[in-house]
Structure 1
Amino acid sequence: MAGVRQVISTLSNDGKEVMGANILAYHYPDNSIINGSLLTVESNHFGVLKSRGAILNVYETGQFTIQTPDRPLIGAFQQAFFGGTSPWQYEVLYINRAKLILEAKGVAYSREMAEMGYHVSCYVHVDSKEDALKLVQHMPFSGHYVTTAEVNEYTTPVIEQSINKIVQMTPLERVNEKMPEILELIKDHLQEFLSVYGLTLNDVKALIFPRDERMKELIALRAFGLSEIDAVRYYTAMMMAQNGVVSAPNMAVGKPYYVGNPQVAAMKSVAGGDEK
């Protein structure tokens, strides 16, 4: 209710914290904040006070009394018309200073134009009052929250460009060898981008993998030292064995399979050719 001294915090009426692990910023949904209200800022938050669009102050942990910053009303006039309070109204924005996770998923293409899926996790936080100010100034609010999902929409193109810059020049089976280089490029590009929004990048984890299941199996076989043709043959043999085809071992070792008299088959195998 307007004109009543109130406590502003991130706790709901039942005492639950409204800023969870997926909330970067929270706009206190009350337009009756006035001079004399108590602003509570938790240890893992920053509080930003605005009035008529202008940023008045950024607060760290503690409880603060909101004071009119410009020529407050005083004396009998204030007492008579406003009950000792000022009619100024304020907005409060809370910024989460805990470490949050941003995630990006997408598709990159190897040098052979094979599809490579990727999953990148980035750990970020708002480090200082100055960074909280940058976030409020540059990150738009579409409602009362700014979620990590919304921030992902900003970071995904940067991550995608960084990954494709290296993956598109790399053969499919050598992409994992480039992971240290890919991670460093993501960190460099992403930190430069996030700094505009007052976000500090702590770490980046990434996984890049062939989207086609067959290619995963073939690359795994190649990792055992098999040639390309041997890897294809062993993969085909495994598929045949899964479907109960008795000639699967022959496919694996590259030998023909004969149906009929086993002695004749053995002689043909030794001779290295078929009888006419």
Structure 2
Amino acid sequence: MAGIRQVISTLTQDGQELLGPNVLAYHYPDNSIMNGSLLTVESNHFAVLKSRGAIMDVFETGQYTIKTPDRPIIGTFQQAFFGGNSPWQYEVIYINRAKLILEVAGVAFSREMAEMGYHVSCYVHVDTKEDALKLVQHMPMAGHHVTMQEVNAYAGPVIEQSINKIVQLTQLERVNEKMPDIIELVKDHLQEFLAVYGLMLNDVKALVFPKDERMKELISLRAFGLSELDAVRYYTAMLMAQRGIVSAPNMAVGKPYYVGNPLMSMDAAEGGSNGSTK
């Protein structure tokens, strides 16, 4: 109806917010936005107004009436059917300006080519109206949403390259010592990359760990000051003890086990083949 102005918002009819914590951008799906419609922008949003593909303005918090220069294209047809307003003229893209979480997981390889898993969490946000324009201009939108999963797909290769640049030159058991360098490199490369899309990087949290459970156990034993050989022996002894094998202590200390006299087996190795200490 011509006398009723349409209200454009990110709220549904039952009051639910469509621009949630996993949505970076939202394209208002109604194709009947007309001149004179009311555009509502929440306190943690930007709104980008487009007309026939061209960006007209970027709005911050508030409510605005959509107005454009007169375009007498349709004439009496426009007056008769749309009350002076023509549909398909305008698009609204809402940008979430709250801090959102970007999460990427993958695999890197140490200097020994051991498989290392990593998980990186980053906090990003759109800071200014200019950044909102960059996002609309450079981030493709399939459907009506740009989700953080889609942003993860863009950032993933940058993070993987940054982590591998250090991890591939580092011994497996010393990777954790390099975590400050890894985080700093990820920050530098990722901020430069995200700036193209108008995203500001706030903080980075990263964890790098051996993918193989055996390697985790061995590295833990090495942390107690054991040599590589001793760590392997103690790890094997723990597995044997879990299975109830009585020779597990012998494996731990590297002594032979003699069937029939388990209590004396370690002493026998030192004092004689028959278990005598003389």
**Length-normalised TM-score, structure 1:** 0.92
- Asked whether the equivalents of residues 257 and 266 of structure 2 are also in contact (C-alpha less than 8 Å), the reply is no
How many Å apart are 1:158 and its aligned residue? 0.2
- Asked whether the equivalents of residues 79 and 85 of structure 2 are also in contact (C-alpha less than 8 Å), the reply is no
Partner of 1:86: 85
Secondary structure of 1:122's counterpart equals: strand
Partner of 1:71: 70
Partner of 1:57: 57
User: What is the letter of the counterpart of residue 118 of structure 2?
Assistant: Y
Q: Deviations over 1:82-117 (max 9, x none)?
A: 675432620000000000011111110000000000
Secondary structure of 2:127's counterpart equals: coil
Partner of 1:254: 254
Residue 209 (structure 2) pairs with residue 218 (structure 1) = no
Equivalent residues, number: 272
CA distance in 2, matches of 1:262, 1:149: 59
Secondary structure of 1:112's counterpart equals: coil
User: What is the letter of the counterpart of residue 210 of structure 1?
Assistant: P
- Asked whether the equivalents of residues 167 and 175 of structure 1 are also in contact (C-alpha less than 8 Å), the reply is yes
Partner of 1:7: 7
Secondary structure of 1:225's counterpart equals: coil
- Asked whether the equivalents of residues 72 and 86 of structure 1 are also in contact (C-alpha less than 8 Å), the reply is no
List aligned pairs for 1:41-52, cutoff 5 A: 41-52=41-52
Q: Deviations over 1:191-224 (max 9, x none)?
A: 0000000000001101100000000000000001
Comparing 261-270 and 189-198, the one that deviates more: 261-270
List aligned pairs for 1:84-163, cutoff 5 A: 85-87=84-86, 89-163=89-163
CA distance in 2, matches of 1:102, 1:10: 22
CA distance in 1, matches of 2:209, 2:111: 14
Gap change, CA 1:264 and 1:66, over 3 Å in 2: closer
Where in structure 2 are there 5+ consecutive unaligned residues? none
- Asked whether the equivalents of residues 250 and 266 of structure 2 are also in contact (C-alpha less than 8 Å), the reply is no
CA distance in 1, matches of 2:119, 2:125: 20
User: What is the letter of the counterpart of residue 205 of structure 2?
Assistant: K
- Asked whether the equivalents of residues 3 and 32 of structure 1 are also in contact (C-alpha less than 8 Å), the reply is no
- Asked whether the equivalents of residues 104 and 119 of structure 2 are also in contact (C-alpha less than 8 Å), the reply is yes
- Asked whether the equivalents of residues 2 and 32 of structure 1 are also in contact (C-alpha less than 8 Å), the reply is no
Gap change, CA 1:223 and 1:131, over 3 Å in 2: same
CA distance in 1, matches of 2:79, 2:259: 109
CA distance in 2, matches of 1:125, 1:14: 27
List aligned pairs for 1:25-36, cutoff 5 A: 25-36=25-36
Where in structure 1 are there 5+ consecutive unaligned residues? none
Partner of 1:197: 197
- Asked whether the equivalents of residues 3 and 34 of structure 1 are also in contact (C-alpha less than 8 Å), the reply is no
User: What is the letter of the counterpart of residue 87 of structure 1?
Assistant: S
Secondary structure of 1:101's counterpart equals: strand
- Asked whether the equivalents of residues 3 and 85 of structure 1 are also in contact (C-alpha less than 8 Å), the reply is no
- Asked whether the equivalents of residues 3 and 82 of structure 1 are also in contact (C-alpha less than 8 Å), the reply is no
Residue 168 (structure 2) pairs with residue 168 (structure 1) = yes
Gap change, CA 1:237 and 1:267, over 3 Å in 2: closer
User: What is the letter of the counterpart of residue 90 of structure 1?
Assistant: Y
Secondary structure of 2:192's counterpart equals: helix
User: What is the letter of the counterpart of residue 161 of structure 1?
Assistant: Q
How many Å apart are 1:14 and its aligned residue? 1.2
User: What is the letter of the counterpart of residue 17 of structure 1?
Assistant: E
CA distance in 1, matches of 2:262, 2:93: 83
Q: Deviations over 1:33-70 (max 9, x none)?
A: 000000000000000000000000000000000001x2
- Asked whether the equivalents of residues 34 and 85 of structure 1 are also in contact (C-alpha less than 8 Å), the reply is no
Task: Calculate percent identity across the aligned residue pairs.
Answer: 75
C-alpha RMSD of the superposition? 2.2
Gap change, CA 1:43 and 1:219, over 3 Å in 2: same
Secondary structure of 1:130's counterpart equals: helix
Gap change, CA 1:116 and 1:262, over 3 Å in 2: closer
- Asked whether the equivalents of residues 110 and 171 of structure 2 are also in contact (C-alpha less than 8 Å), the reply is yes
How many Å apart are 1:259 and its aligned residue? 1.5
User: What is the letter of the counterpart of residue 165 of structure 1?
Assistant: K
**Length-normalised TM-score, structure 2:** 0.92
